[in-house]
Chains A and B, each alone.
Chain A
Amino acid sequence: MAATWRAVRDTELYMSGIVGSEPVARDEAIAVLWQQQRSQLVRLAVGLTGDRDAAEEIVQEAFAALLGRWRFLREVSAAQAYLQRVVVNQARARWRARRRTHVVATVLPGRREQTDGPDVDAQLDMLTALGRLPWSKRACVLLRYYADLSEAQTAAVLGISVGTVKSQTAKGLRQLAAVIDEQGVR
């Protein structure tokens, strides 16, 4: 029986674990992703769920999942796409679970919260308007115009076709505009 050779990449993969009780590369990469991506992911989740606490929770779940998934991803771009997928999936699950009990409280016109910050009313109105969109349209609009994903990337995250992304995005924007207009928001 003879042994085969290994290239540098394989040695590094193997030895990084042998000499690393220092998973430096993974933790450093995820720490950078956390710093760079977390806020946007939380806001994306806020747009998807209308709930800031849930959004924080969802993003933390996504990074917890990334900790275990990192070794299969190996690249930052793949990690970013993974995080977006997890956030969207988690948000969808929560939205469906909460919809029946919370829809009345979040989308009725005129509901307000007491919070600090500039133009909070406009923010809440936008979130309320988003909440009026069916899930698919809302997700397409947010991924395309907030997360700045391409049609193909959006399709990959949502698991739908590019054609569906195009139509759902266009219809979602029109419907959002109509809701905003209805609420008298400018």
Chain B
Amino acid sequence: MTMSPEDVARRLRAELDAVPVPERPWAAVRPALVRRRASRRVMEAAAAAAAVVLIAGLSVAAARVFGAIPAPGAMPRAHPPRYYMQQSYPGTSGPPKPVVVRATATGRITATVSCPQPGTQIAPQGIAATSNRLFFIDCQKIHKVSAKYTVSRSWLYQARLTGSGQISGYSLVPGGVLGPHRLEGIGATLDGSEVAVTLGPSALYEFSSPSAPADVLVLNTKTGARAIWHGGPKVFSAGDFTFTGNGRELEFVGAARCPQAKRFGCKELRAVSPATAGGRLDSSRLLLRLSALARSHGEYIEPAIITTGGSTLTAAVQRNQNSVSSQSIWVIQYSAATGRLLRVLYRLPTGNGFSYQFLSSDPTGRHLLFNAGPPSRTVNGWIDHGQLIRLKPANGNYIAYETW
């Protein structure tokens, strides 16, 4: 060989770099690429549909041949609610995706949840369900003011989910004109007689702080009577609401000022009573600091949910095992009174890093929806006796929130 590998490589680079490539501006090319992508997706969907029909047919045929019947022990033992609501991120282009109602068993979309006011959309995680199929949604109108997107107006609506997963009748909750506030939390009593909403700053990218605290509005949904708990320099926001004591007391996870978490505050389980009295969040009763739940330096407690009755606290806990490459997310139930670990409900190894989207529950607190996983690959499902039963879609990356 007369040319050395280095000479060959050098020659290769030189000759290829000399290949002329005519300039094509992105703006000129993009429309054609978008059209090409759209037509490919139509073809892929048609192919996928044909594949599903084929596979379903083969499965039925196989079952007939081999007599395959799922063993009773393989079936989930819990009976979760029949429908769940799903709020997706809108993706990178196009209009926001609607909130949909899906059947738990099949994932079939049975209804779309929409804000009645034109030009408004449901706030992120702006859905609160009750135990009698009544649910509440926070609807926002967003405007751009001096290059800042702000909530110019917001409203609280109620509607009912039918037995077949349809929506019947939206109506404005009495007293439910909320004004120019970004929603930072929402919760309802089991019977829907009261709703608590956290009203943050109007600007989309600003969050409550000790110097700009949020307010918590407790609204009687029958009469429209309002009670306001003002955020203060010590406890400046609240979320993850649970009404306890027959609705008389409001428990919440408060954001308290602390040096370790300057932006979003330290999380503390707190309570105000009676919920309808109004007053200051600073004077709420401290029940438990969530940092006390962390057993070691390598644990991080994600924002928690509280079961009804306020006796237990369920949280997603991110844990590093022996190394950063063996991380996991645990769903753990604690005593709300003492912080004592009661039981591990689910454990999900995530490898090197993790991604956590949400943990939510049905109004009874018995059934948990969970979306977490390795980085960029979250799974979406509900927890049943230590197993994660997948929901649709199984890929949870762009599901913003789900609730039963």
Please list the residues of chain A having a beta carbon within 8 angstroms of any beta carbon in chain B.
Answer: 1-8, 10-21, 23, 25-27, 30-31, 34-35, 38-39, 42-44, 46-47, 52, 56, 60-61, 63-65, 67-68, 70-72, 74, 117-119, 122-123, 126-127, 130, 141-142, 145-146, 170, 173-174, 176-178, 180-181
Is the Cβ of A123 less than 8 Å from the Cβ of B19?
Answer: yes
Is the Cβ of B128 less than 8 Å from the Cβ of A1?
Answer: yes
B15: nearest chain-A partner, CB-CB: A126
Residues of B within 8 A of A44 (CB): 16
Is the Cβ of B205 less than 8 Å from the Cβ of A10?
Answer: no
Complex Cα gap A71–B36 (Å) = 18
User: What are the 5 A-B residue pairs with the smallest beta carbon separation, nearest first?
Assistant: A17-B90, A23-B93, A126-B15, A64-B33, A26-B92
Is the Cβ of B149 less than 8 Å from the Cβ of A5?
Answer: no
Contacts A4-B125, A5-B240, A72-B397; A15 near B11 (Cβ below 8 A): no
Residues of B within 8 A of A74 (CB): 376
Q: Tally of A-B residue pairs with Cβ under 8 A?
A: 203
B398 at interface, CB cutoff 8 A? yes
Is the Cβ of A10 less than 8 Å from the Cβ of B400?
Answer: yes
Is the Cβ of B398 less than 8 Å from the Cβ of A71?
Answer: yes
Is the Cβ of A170 less than 8 Å from the Cβ of B94?
Answer: no
Further contacts, 17 of them, CB under 8 A, given A5-B184, A27-B30, A56-B21: A3-B127, A4-B360, A5-B264, A5-B303, A14-B90, A18-B142, A20-B93, A31-B30, A34-B29, A42-B21, A47-B16, A64-B33, A119-B18, A123-B16, A176-B8, A178-B1, A180-B8
Segment 153-198 of B: residues with Cβ below 8 Å from A: 184-188
Interface pairs (6), CB distance under 8 Å: A14-B89, A15-B124, A16-B90, A46-B16, A47-B16, A118-B18
Which of the residues B97, B130, B359 comes within 8 Å of A4, measured between beta carbons?
B359
Is the Cβ of A11 less than 8 Å from the Cβ of B11?
Answer: no
Residues of A within 8 A of B1 (CB): 174, 177-178, 181
Contacts A11-B204, A72-B397, A74-B376; A2 near B242 (Cβ below 8 A): yes
Residues of A within 8 A of B380 (CB): none
B229 at interface, CB cutoff 8 A? no
Contacts A67-B34, A181-B2; A146 near B128 (Cβ below 8 A): no
Q: Which of B5, B129, B358, B365 has the most CB of A within 10 A?
A: B5
Residues of B within 8 A of A56 (CB): 21
Residues of B within 8 A of A20 (CB): 93
B379 at interface, CB cutoff 8 A? no
Residues of A within 8 A of B248 (CB): none
Complex Cα gap A2–B40 (Å) = 41
A116: nearest chain-B partner, CB-CB: B20
B190: nearest chain-A partner, CB-CB: A1
B207 at interface, CB cutoff 8 A? yes
B72 at interface, CB cutoff 8 A? no
Nearest CB on A from B101, distance (A): 15
Contacts A13-B89, A173-B9; A64 near B36 (Cβ below 8 A): yes
Residues of A within 8 A of B187 (CB): 1-3
B70 at interface, CB cutoff 8 A? no
Q: Which of B90, B125, B205 has the most CB of A within 10 A?
A: B90
